[in-house]
Amino acid sequence: MTGTPEKHDERGWVPDDGTFGARLALVRQRMGWGNVKEAAIACGLPVESWRSWERDGRTPQRIVETAALIAERTGCDYGWLLAGGRLRNRPNGGSVTEATTR
| Per-residue model confidence (pLDDT) at position 89 | 41
Give 28-86 pLDDT, tens digit per residue. 999 999 999 999 999 999 999 999 999 999 999 999 999 999 999 999 999 999 998 76
- The verdict on pTM exceeding 0.75 is no
The answer to whether 15 and 51 have CB atoms below 8 angstroms apart is no
CA 94 to CA 41: how far, in whole Å?
Answer: 29
Sign (positive/negative) of CA torsion 47, 53, 56, 61?
positive
